[in-house]
Structure 1
């Protein structure tokens, strides 16, 4: 029998992290008829081409998952977040998804997502301490 060492990596290796994600993705694909996440990125750039915001998401198993939405303070409150979400939702519909999913923390963007028609289906209290983590969904229509 081979001995294996289990330990906490104090300074995780990027290659190890990628291998873990790759392993899980391969396992999930084997369970989901070969389907893997199809990523999408929408960006906001200034006149000089500098990234000042954007959205990272993926479509997978009939869902659009919004993973990251970020805007620099200099462009917040100008409609770019709503535009990014609309782009992602349209692309999700084009790819055949039926719904969208996003998570947010209490100090982030809960009212923003609710304004866009997302509904809270889960609230995890004290994540962060004194706050909450929310999971929201929205039915998408083609």
Structure 2
């Protein structure tokens, strides 16, 4: 009996991500049929005088908000724009009955900012993404039933 050839190939990110997510969702639905399978993107920009000064991108999935990307223009940091954007995305998450918010940040980014906004460090990886830096995984409880 001849074995079939095996290959591992690079795939287009968007298509592969969508198909992978669909497979995971189908498996999860099979194992947990009563779980709310929603997946909703949330995305906001902060503008002043028609100029974008900040952006936040994430998604609501199952019982949580995942903040994926968050950026404030350098010359406007420290002026409350980040807090306003974070509060807006958390407000949407609360309206959708999310219990938690999760995010990842780096020591050279804004872990103290997130802590001031109610996030706690769940885990950290030292010397990542570079020697002397730390990668943080953070969570905020939005509400408890």
For 1:18 and 1:53, locate their aligned partners in 2 and report how far apart those are by CA, in whole Å: 27
Unaligned runs of 5+ in 2: none
For 2:65 and 2:12, locate their aligned partners in 1 and report how far apart those are by CA, in whole Å: 29
SS at match of 1:83: helix
Q: 2:44 matched to which residue of 1? A: 42
Per-residue CA deviations over 1:79-114 (Å, capped at 9, x if unaligned) read 110001111111111111112111111111101101
| 2:100/2:141 contact within 8 Å kept | yes
| 1:53/1:71 contact within 8 Å kept | yes
| 1:57/1:67 contact within 8 Å kept | yes
Which has the larger displacement, 122-131 or 111-120? 122-131
| 1:25/1:36 contact within 8 Å kept | no
SS at match of 2:129: coil
Per-residue CA deviations over 1:13-36 (Å, capped at 9, x if unaligned) read 344454334444444454453603
Structure 1 residue 122: deviation in Å?
Answer: 0.5
Q: 1:91 matched to which residue of 2? A: 92
